[in-house]
Every structure is written in C-alpha cells, then in structure tokens.
Amino acid sequence: MPTMNIIEAVRDALRMQMRADKRVVVLGEDVGKFGGVFRATSGLFDEFGGERVIDTPLAEAGIIGTAIGMALYGLRPVPEIQFGDFIFPAFDQIVNELAKFRYRSGGQYPCPVVIRTPVGGGIRGGHYHSQSPETLFIHTPGLKVVAPSNPYDAKGLLLACMRQNDPVLFMEPKRIYRASKGEVPEGDYVLEIGKASVTREGSQVTLLAWSGMVSIADETAKQAEAAGISVEVVDLRTLMPFDIDTILTSVKKTGRCVIVHEAPRTCGFGAELIASIQERAMEYLEAPIMRVTGFDTPFPYSLEHEYMPNPDRVLGAIRQTLEW
C-alpha cells in the first residue's frame, strides 16, 4: 500500500473518478497546465485535456456559477477555489443558488457540485490566506461540508462526495497538505459521509476536532497520557451532516468534552456542538464543555501560532474540565 500525503490522495481521487466517469470535470484558477497553486491537479490536464481540466479567469462567482450550470445540464463539476478566503465573492452563488436547486425543484434538479478549497492557517499566509469559514456554510441548508484531516480520509471522502448528488464544500487543511502522510489504498474505496472516526480511545475526556486540528488533538492526547490523563480523540471528518451518535457515545463514556477548532470562537461550530451535546446528554456531563479556538480577531500574520490552538492551550482546557 503506497504512502501518500493529502495532496497526492486528493489528486488520486480526482484522477480515479475522472477515469471512471466522463461527466466529471475540474475547473478553477491555474488548475490546468500549472496543476494548481498547491499542485493538487498536477498531471490531470495532460491526461484529460483542456475540455475536462479547465483554467478559468480569476473570478470565483463565475467559477461557481459555471459549475452550477454544468451540473444542471448533467455534468459533475469539481471546481477549486484557490484559497478558502477567496470563496466569499462566490458566496451568493453557493448559498442562494447551489444549495437551493434541489429543494426549489422538488428534487427534480440535483446539483452535484463538489467545491474543493484549502483552509486554515499555519503557512504564514496572513489574514487573506488563512481563514476557516466552515461555519458559514454549515449554517446553509442544502450543503454538505466535509473536512478531512489525513490522506486516507481525504481520498475516501472525496470519492464519496463526487458520487452523490448533493453539493459539497470539501475543505482541505493546507497546513498539513504535505506534512500529513499515511498509507492509502491504490484502488477504489469510499468513506461514509456523516460518519466520525475515533482516532484514539480514552476514558476521562472527549476531545472533538476536525481538519488541521486533529493532529493537534492527537499530540495533546499523547502529552495528556504522559501526565496520566486518558483522552479520547474524535475526528468529526464531516461537519454537515455531523455524527452526533459517535459524539454522544464518547461523551457519555467520559463525562467531559473539549472542542478544538481553528476558526474564531464566537458562533464557531464548537458552539453548535456544545448545544447539541447538552440537549441530549446533559445528565452525563461532569463539567462544562470547553472550547479551544482561534480568537475573535482577523487572522494575524506575525502572530499566527499564538492565534491557532496548540497542545499547551488544549491541555490547559482538559485540566480545567478535570478540576471542575
């Protein structure tokens, strides 16, 4: 079984599905001969040509609007938004058009568009290349939001997304695009959309994370174990729909929960998770649920590592829950 990083796993999934289904097309800024700014589409232009790997103008609303039209006429487009921060010019197309076609047509017109975009900080990109806007799209009925944290999940989830009929925002953690490596099957496999993964078993505290924060959660759990604290790590993988059953099973077992996300704290997805847990499992909680998040400021350039959650901050929250 080959070892891949996330970029290679994404490229492998795209190539596999493009070979299997001639309706799949890739479009976006520099995705063709250049292979994308992160090289996720490298080599696809040479294999599939300019009619299926399409370089577009620098116009995000146009990219998504074009993809919507393609999908309504029977294609299965996979547009790339070069950075998650640049998705906002296309916000109206995504929220008011893409997310609503299936509903407004009574199910007659599904719109199977899978929007790939890198998100998060950690590459010294400053406030225009480091944001984590997942909550804005989780809040939009009609969209699925997927956030893999490793190569195996990235390939299996992307293949699953390209084979179903709902629009998906597929958010890739660019900080660990190449740093996260693992064994990935060469062949075909899919992972269930809406199913979380328990990446580490534990008994005292549940740690919920997704995307680039899963590696932070895993490192924190190792440090906690060295201090005699047993932490269970749950990688959500899919944010909408999210796997409330796996979350509740873990929280009921441990009685405590800490949520880690890179986006700002106020109205972040962690708040929804807290509400969902407390509505269903209040009697099992031994302490308030804690959040370790980014701050309610624009993403800073020179202080990005102070902004982003790290194991020290997460371990501090774990200790707070245990001392309650």
Residues 6+ apart with CB under 8 A from 270: 208, 259, 260, 261, 291, 293
E strand spans, 85-210? 114-119, 144-146, 168-173, 181-183, 197-200, 205-209
Residue among 129, 139, 261, 305 flagged as catalytic: 129
- Burial code (b: 16+ CB inside 10 Å, e: under 16) for 216-236 equals bbbebbeebeeeebebbbbbb
- Burial code (b: 16+ CB inside 10 Å, e: under 16) for 67-92 equals bbebbbeebbbbbbbbbbbbbeebbe
E strand spans, 153-305? 168-173, 181-183, 197-200, 205-209, 231-235, 238-240, 257-264, 290-294
∠ CA 28-29-34, nearest 5°, is 110
SS3 177: coil
Query: Residue 305 catalytic?
Result: no
∠ CA 150-311-156, nearest 5°, is 10
Return the axis-axis angle of helices 269-281 and 244-254, rounded to nearest 10°.
60
Q: Which amino acids are annotated catalytic?
A: 129
